[in-house]
Amino acid sequence: MMSPSVDKINWDLTPLYVDSSDQSLQADLAAARGAAEQFRASYYGHINSTEINPKRFSKALHEYEVLQLKILRPYLYAQLLFYANSSEPEHPRLLAQVREAWQKIHEETLFFELEILALDDNDYTPLVMDAAVSPYSHYLTTVRAHAPYTLGESVEQALKRKDLSGKDAVVQLFDELTTGLTFRFHFPGEEEEREATGEELLSLIYHQDRDVRESAFATFLDKHAEQSLVLTSCFNNILLDHGKEAELRNYPDLMTPTHLSSETAPEMVEKMLAVTEAHYPLAQEYFELKRQLLGYKKLKNTDLYAPVAKETRKYSFTEALELVVNAFRTFDPGMAEIVERLVETGRLDAAPRVGKSGGAFCMGLYPGADPYVLLNFTGTLRDVSTLAHELGHAVHYVLSGEQNFFHYHAPLPLAETASVFGEMLLTRTLLDQEPDRQTRIALLCAKIEDIIATTFRQTVLTRFEQAAHARRGEGLLAADDLCELWLAENARLLGDHVEMIPAYRWGWSYISHFIHARFYCYSYVFGELLVLSLYQKYRSEGSSFVPAYRELLRAGGSVRPDTLVKPMGIDLASADFWAQGYGLVRELIEELRLLIVEERRGV
Ligand SMILES: [Zn+2]
């Protein structure tokens, strides 16, 4: 059933449009613009206590949904075309055109949510209780959560416009500067030094040779240090902008907007971070094992992802797909069927190509349409994990496809549930069927390092970001201040076990999350720990866990995370829950310790 060659796994976008010159794409754009104008003409200024009733309100919501779907189809299609081949000049042109249309429609319809926000509680409550409106109730609740912090339409529009030359311009500058940096580096096995991209250098963090790892990362960081004037200014301005916005909107806390959009309670997040910090010694136990495996006197931070196996096994795409499908099948045959269908109907683009975007992603479209998955599969174990990760996302989108447009995407903290769970299923399958002890050691290390990167490291990042915001409130930060905050937070995790290379003081300067989205990093911690405890539950409850897990995915973004997991007996407000996740990490570390002992004894 599956194609043997990875080059043949290309996605088929024709269910959306025939090609970039498809007449129906331009027709859809025009229709979406028309619908937005019509929508504004019908409802602008009319979502108020005297004119709105449940029937009219639900009609408006439905029309709003339909018009969003109309623009979404060309918008997502243009993105997919561009990611698959950006060197075709028609593709960036189309993307720009569609983005502009998207922006226009956004401006035209911005009033709708603002008027919903402005409704008095006494007028709003009976509306949302009505059967005609209740299918939209969760969406409305998330919109209304911003009510206390929203300003009038003209102020909101003015802020958005000033963002173009303010915050957005800083982000643009940061992106252009960092993606435009080139590096001189002598790659192992090559005759002479050559120009390299940042991605190429960062990928050497997994290289076998210790000196290569260190010099590649140092080269990368030193180049950023040369740009410290601009980078420090970008950070200062983003921090200041956020502080000013918090003042204007009267947020009780700098993290409030993130909590509102992530639907997380502030106390819960703080508890989760504190529990993670309390488990830093667990990470340090792993660092010690890794040091022993590598046979070093002292570990450096550039050794944390060093390979522990001499030879790295390669997988064909067919093999990889079979592994992943089987991992899903042992858990839930229905999920394996979904994955097989997606492969057969051309929703995957697997091989690396010139002009194709790097990395990997799964793009959910809208309810009722299957998602698309982009990969750059080269046959490493990491690529097999990525396949499991992205297909996990894909299964999530297929299952949440029965929700309406507003509830299709899971909120940020839940967005990585199915993907990380898929990786976990794959790791267990690989570990259980792998006869070679060295390979099992390598598999375990890879999994533990992954978990450390998404929990402990992201907690360090979040604490650094909190500290930087707090310090900016007191005044301008010098580059050295940022370096020192960064080193201090990292030192708490690494302790005496890991020595940071000198250039690592610039480690903060390239992390784009700090620039793009405030306090984004804690959602990684949330996602990973939730999956670890869900997996623990699966182990103890067996197949009776599966239907509850399916329900969780099926709900998409229709329920708050804490409410959603409650029926599974999970209380996100309890510190014990977060600590449970680390119980599984401890087990993995013990499993590794045992293998290392066996390996030494040669039994
Ligand atoms: Zn993901």
DSSP character at residue 116: H
> Is the pLDDT assigned to residue 603 strictly greater than 80?
no
pLDDT at 3: 46
Distance 165 CA to ligand 1 centre (A): 31
Which domains does the chain possess? 6-160 (1.20.140.70), 168-309+454-516 (1.10.1370.20), 317-453+522-601 (1.10.1370.30)
Query: In the predicted model, what is the mean pLDDT of residues 61-76?
Result: 95
Distance 289 CA to ligand 1 centre (A): 28
Distance 30 CA to ligand 1 centre (A): 33
Instruction: Specify which residues 499 forms β-bridges with.
Output: 300
- Written as six digits, the tokens of 345 are 């109907």
Distance 144 CA to ligand 1 centre (A): 28
Chain centre to alpha carbon of residue 582: 21
> Is the pLDDT assigned to residue 555 strictly greater than 50?
yes
Query: In the predicted model, what is the mean pLDDT of residues 18-45?
Result: 96
**3-class secondary structure per residue, 296-335:** CCCEEHHHCCCCCCCCCCCCCHHHHHHHHHHHHHHHCHHH
pLDDT at 1: 45
Strands 361-363 and 372-374: antiparallel
Distance 395 CA to ligand 1 centre (A): 12
Helix ranges (DSSP H) in 496-573: 513-516, 522-541, 545-554, 561-565
Distance 393 CA to ligand 1 centre (A): 7
pLDDT at 4: 52
Ligand 1 is an ion; its neighbours by CB within 5 Å are 419
Distance 524 CA to ligand 1 centre (A): 10
% of the chain residues with pLDDT over 90: 82
Query: In the predicted model, what is the mean pLDDT of residues 365-387?
Result: 94
Distance 360 CA to ligand 1 centre (A): 9
Distance 389 CA to ligand 1 centre (A): 6
Could you tell me the pLDDT band of residue 180, with boundaries at 50, 70 and 90?
Answer: confident
Query: In the predicted model, what is the mean pLDDT of residues 110-130?
Result: 91
pLDDT at 197: 87
Distance 478 CA to ligand 1 centre (A): 34
Q: Is 571 helix (H, G, I), strand (E, B) or coil?
A: coil
DSSP character at residue 400: G
For the entire predicted model, the pTM comes to 0.89
Query: In the predicted model, what is the mean pLDDT of residues 230-251?
Result: 97
DSSP character at residue 358: S
Q: Is 495 helix (H, G, I), strand (E, B) or coil?
A: coil
Distance 285 CA to ligand 1 centre (A): 28
**Structure confidence by residue, pLDDT tens digits, 274-333:** 999 999 999 999 999 999 999 999 999 999 999 998 767 889 999 999 999 999 999 999
Distance 537 CA to ligand 1 centre (A): 22
> Is the pLDDT assigned to residue 505 strictly greater than 90?
yes
Q: What's the chain's average pLDDT?
A: 93
Among candidate residues 525, 487, 520, the one with its CA nearest the CA of residue 503: 487
In single-letter form, the type of residue at position 217 comes to F
Between residues 289 and 180, the one the model is more confident about: 289
Distance 78 CA to ligand 1 centre (A): 21
